[in-house]
């Protein structure tokens, strides 16, 4: 197929010469880039054909792109294990991040500049009068919070005239990051837990029986109970697998040129990990669309011995440092819900539970 370029507003020979000259210049530039010294002779990773000028802009779907990527992985024989090989075993070369231009200018909150968002979060966490003198006003507890610990050290060093490794801005920034990073993700996971417990009453009953057996009915679950609630943990793991909050994860970028399975990965390549595809891989998970926490149990205990889902908290050196905090928070809330409430379908006009099939939106998950 040929492509014809036209210089609008001019049909003169000079216009044709101009277009021809630009075309030749572009071709020469592309040729020089491809033949640049040191460039590998290995092919780039395979993928769907692109369009001239636009590249893959119209090829990648706007909705649920991760599902299309999974189909392409099958079509081009790309192993899902590549994520572990590159991001874990070769983590030092894939620990970079691409530029997030929009995130640099704005936060996820519409129309609120990032600087202002940080100021609001920081003011609420540290600049509050009740928190500004934590070191002297808040009584010590068995478990110290991050802010309490760092502020206590800061006050002590100031009084002794010693330098502080963490200044107030460091403490504010770290505290704000802890709050912002885990807020929406934890809330969304809890909503999914409620949905799946509502849809699977037999799973809910089994988890409630475990909580009643371990905790009893005279108190609420405590942190010490969590290690003794294995089935409750399986419910959480199955929720992770069924609906990864970030289906393609947060992208990495390669620090230097690399080669993998006979393919060339140039420096600066943006690398997405298709967490959704890994969690729905039929070679790993039997009937992946079914919510079945028992799948992780050994075969001798009625399960399939399938592995816990990977990638929900990232990979390699970019793995979420708050994953233990997030999981413990989710488990204690889940155990408390199981100990105190029965979750059922909303009541319809006839006064009976009215089951429904939820609608999912994946727009923007690209």
Tell me the whole-structure pTM to 2 decimals.
Answer: 0.73
Return binding residues for heme: 320
Q: How many CA atoms lie within 13 A of 118 on its CB side?
A: 14
Local confidence band at 173 (pLDDT 50, 70, 90 cut-offs): confident
In whole numbers, what is the pLDDT of the chain averaged over residues?
81
What HEC string does 242-257 produce? HCCCCCCCCCEECCCC
Q: What is the Cα–Cα distance from 188 to 140, expressed in whole angstroms? A: 33
Residue 110 has pLDDT above 70, yes or no: no
Local confidence band at 25 (pLDDT 50, 70, 90 cut-offs): low
8 A C-beta contact, residue 105 and residue 114: yes
8 A C-beta contact, residue 345 and residue 355: yes
* Range with lowest mean pLDDT among 96-100, 230-234, 277-281, 350-354: 96-100
Residue 134 has pLDDT above 50, yes or no: no
Phi, psi of 177 (to 5 degrees): -65, -40
Sequence-separated (6 or more) residues with CB below 8 Å from residue 60:
68, 366
Residue 252 has pLDDT above 70, yes or no: yes
8 A C-beta contact, residue 267 and residue 253: no
Share of the chain above pLDDT 90, in %: 53
Q: What is the pLDDT of residues 288-337, one digit of tens each?
A: 999 999 999 999 999 999 999 999 999 998 888 888 989 999 999 999 99
Phi, psi of 211 (to 5 degrees): -65, -45
Q: What is the pLDDT of residues 187-200, one digit of tens each?
A: 999 999 999 999 99
Share of the chain above pLDDT 70, in %: 76
CA angle 211, 213, 216 (to 5 degrees): 80
Q: Tell me what pLDDT residue 127 has.
A: 41
Q: Tell me what pLDDT residue 33 has.
A: 52
Q: What is the Cα–Cα distance from 130 to 35, expressed in whole angstroms? A: 63
8 A C-beta contact, residue 291 and residue 299: no
Q: Tell me what pLDDT residue 167 has.
A: 86
Local confidence band at 77 (pLDDT 50, 70, 90 cut-offs): confident
Q: Tell me what pLDDT residue 184 has.
A: 82
Q: What is the Cα–Cα distance from 329 to 181, expressed in whole angstroms? A: 14
Phi, psi of 63 (to 5 degrees): -105, 130
Local confidence band at 130 (pLDDT 50, 70, 90 cut-offs): very low
Residue 210 has pLDDT above 50, yes or no: yes
| Torsional class of 267: left (φ above 0), alpha (ψ -120 to 50), beta (otherwise) | beta
CATH 3.40.190.10 fits 102-340, yes or no: no
- Overall residue count recorded for the chain in this entry: 366
DSSP 109-161: STT-BHHHHHHHHHIIIIISHHHHTHHHHSPP-SS--HHHHHHHHHHHHHHHT
Q: Which of 234, 218, 236 is nearest to 296 (CA)?
A: 234
> Among all chains, which residue has been given the structure tokens 């040929």?
2
Element (H, E) at 331: helix 323-340
Q: What is the Cα–Cα distance from 165 to 96, expressed in whole angstroms? A: 25
Q: Tell me what pLDDT residue 124 has.
A: 41
Residue 11 has pLDDT above 50, yes or no: no
Return binding residues: 320
Q: What is the Cα–Cα distance from 22 to 268, expressed in whole angstroms? A: 27
Local confidence band at 103 (pLDDT 50, 70, 90 cut-offs): low
Q: What is the dihedral of CA 351, 353, 357, 360, to 10 degrees?
A: 90
Q: What is the pLDDT of residues 218-243, one digit of tens each?
A: 999 999 999 999 999 999 999 999 99
Q: Tell me what pLDDT residue 19 has.
A: 53
Q: Which of 199, 362, 208, 234 is nearest to 306 (CA)?
A: 234
Q: Tell me what pLDDT residue 38 has.
A: 55
Q: Tell me what pLDDT residue 292 has.
A: 98
Q: Tell me what pLDDT residue 107 has.
A: 43
Q: What is the Cα–Cα distance from 78 to 162, expressed in whole angstroms? A: 55
Q: What is the Cα–Cα distance from 223 to 300, expressed in whole angstroms? A: 29
Sequence-separated (6 or more) residues with CB below 8 Å from residue 238:
196, 291, 292, 293, 295, 296
Residue 142 has pLDDT above 70, yes or no: no
Q: Tell me what pLDDT residue 140 has.
A: 46
Residue 80 has pLDDT above 60, yes or no: yes
Q: What is the Cα–Cα distance from 129 to 118, expressed in whole angstroms? A: 18
Better-scored residue on pLDDT, 122 or 67: 67
Local confidence band at 34 (pLDDT 50, 70, 90 cut-offs): low
Strands, DSSP E only, in the chain?
Answer: 252-253, 258-260, 263-265, 270-271
Helices 146-160 and 168-199, packing angle to 10 deg: 170
Q: Reduced to 3 states, what is the DSSP secondary structure of residue 182?
A: helix
Rounded mean pLDDT, 13-31:
51
Residue 159 has pLDDT above 70, yes or no: yes
Q: Tell me what pLDDT residue 109 has.
A: 36
């Amino acid at each position: 197929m040929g492509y014809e370029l036209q210089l609008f507003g001019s049909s003169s020979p000079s216009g044709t010469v101009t277009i021809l000259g630009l075309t030749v210049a572009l071709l020469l530039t592309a040729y020089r880039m491809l033949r640049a010294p040191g460039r590998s002779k290995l092919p780039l990773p395979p993928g769907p054909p692109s369009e001239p000028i636009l590249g893959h802009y119209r090829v990648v779907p706007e909705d649920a792109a991760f599902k299309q990527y999974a189909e392409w992985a099958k079509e081009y024989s790309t192993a899902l294990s590549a994520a572990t090989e590159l991001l874990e075993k070769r983590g030092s070369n894939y620990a970079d991040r691409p530029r997030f231009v929009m995130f640099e200018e704005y936060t996820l909150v519409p129309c609120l500049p990032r600087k202002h968002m940080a100021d609001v979060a920081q003011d609420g966490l540290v600049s509050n009068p009740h928190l500004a003198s934590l070191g002297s006003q808040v009584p010590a507890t068995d478990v110290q919070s991050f802010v309490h610990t760092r502020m206590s050290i800061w006050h002590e060093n100031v009084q002794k005239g010693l330098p502080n490794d963490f200044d107030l801005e460091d403490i504010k920034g770290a505290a704000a990051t802890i709050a912002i990073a885990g807020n929406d993700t934890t809330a969304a996971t809890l909503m999914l837990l409620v949905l799946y417990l509502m849809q699977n009453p037999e799973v809910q009953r089994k988890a409630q029986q475990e909580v009643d057996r371990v905790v009893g009915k005279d108190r609420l679950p405590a942190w010490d109970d969590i290690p003794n609630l294995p089935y409750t943990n399986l419910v959480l793991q199955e929720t992770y697998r069924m609906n990864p909050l970030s289906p393609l994860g947060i992208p990495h970028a390669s620090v230097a040129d690399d080669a993998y399975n006979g393919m060339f990965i140039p420096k600066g390549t943006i690398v997405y990990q298709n967490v959704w595809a890994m969690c729905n891989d039929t070679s790993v998970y039997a009937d992946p669309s079914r919510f079945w926490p028992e799948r992780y149990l050994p075969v001798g205990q009625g399960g399939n011995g399938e592995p816990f889902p990977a990638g929900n908290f990232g990979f390699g050196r970019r793995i979420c440092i708050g994953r233990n905090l997030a999981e413990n928070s989710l488990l204690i809330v889940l155990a408390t819900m199981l100990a105190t409430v029965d979750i059922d379908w909303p009541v319809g006009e006839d006064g009976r539970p009215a089951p429904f099939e939820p609608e999912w939106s994946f727009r923007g998950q690209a």
